[in-house]
Amino acid sequence: MGIVNATPDSFSDGGQYLDPEVAIAHALELVADGASVIDVGGESTRPGAERVAVAEEIRRVLPVVTALAGRGVVVSIDTMNAGTAVAAVEAGARIVNDVSGGLADPGMLAAVAETSADFVLGHWRGPSSDMYARAAYADVARDVTAELADRVRDAARAGLAPSRVILDPGIGFGKTAEQNWAMLAGLDRLVALGPRVLVGTSRKRFLSAALAGTSGDEPSITRRDAATAVTSVLAERAGAWGVRVHDVTATRDALVIAAAWREGAPWTA
């Protein structure tokens, strides 16, 4: 899943793809690089980010979603707002990616259930403005898995069958660096629930913290992309359905090499 942030304030590429034509061109480059899905977002969810009005979010994303869907691209809309989700699906999006798992907007689950879209249900304990205030877990992998299991049941009650649900452990959302690593180490617990699992580690701060420990310097984006590719391979080996990344080429290359090592032949899917 390739990331297209049509935002002015995303943490690593804010403002680069705010212009719809630039965002569309970038998305098509990611598809050419090997992305199977393009995730289009119009609201930053970085730590400390403030909410964006629904009308503004729709204004940012709808031209991009419409253009990409019209070219046959599988589009995911990254939103916590039911109104944006429905508008994007009507424009051709096939997946709704909600980092809050339907908690930010009480109408989200029912709204998506009325569409044909699949739903990425992210683990979330509160808004980006104070997400770390809730980062308390007895056993993070166990607790996240249990909380997402509850949300799968809530989604089913709203009309979203588990076959339409994709689970995201919410790496970086309401979790410390240590908790993120513990969650990834226990990813098999989440995979065992049954629904598909999406993992998003791309360029996140906990990677920088680990890399800085080896050199004492703040890692460059290039080093974060290499680290992302490694976590993507490990996520795939743990059973993840997909990985959400900024640098598609680095991750695809890593997956190909890992498969060649494992199977004795290059991965060509």
Secondary structure string (H, E, C) spanning the chain: CEEEECCCCCCCCCCCCCCHHHHHHHHHHHHHHCCCCEEEECCCCCCCCCCCCHHHHHHHHHHHHHHHHHCCCCEEEECCCHHHHHHHHHCCCCEEEECCCCCCCCCHHHHHHCCCCEEEEECCCCCHHHHHHHCCCCCHHHHHHHHHHHHHHHHHHHCCCHHHEEEECCCCCCCCHHHHHHHHHCHHHHHCCCCEEEECCCCCHHHHHHHHHHHCCCCCHHHHHHHHHHHHHHHHHCCCCEECECCHHHHHHHHHHHHHHHHCCCCCC
Is the distance from CB of 170 to CB of 147 less than 8 angstroms? Answer: no
Indicate the angle between helix axes 205-215 and 221-237, nearest 10 degrees: 110
Please, which residues have CB within 8 angstroms of residue 246's CB and are 6 or more apart in sequence? 2, 3, 12, 13, 202, 203, 225, 228
What's the residue count for the chain? 269
Active site positions, annotated = 204, 244
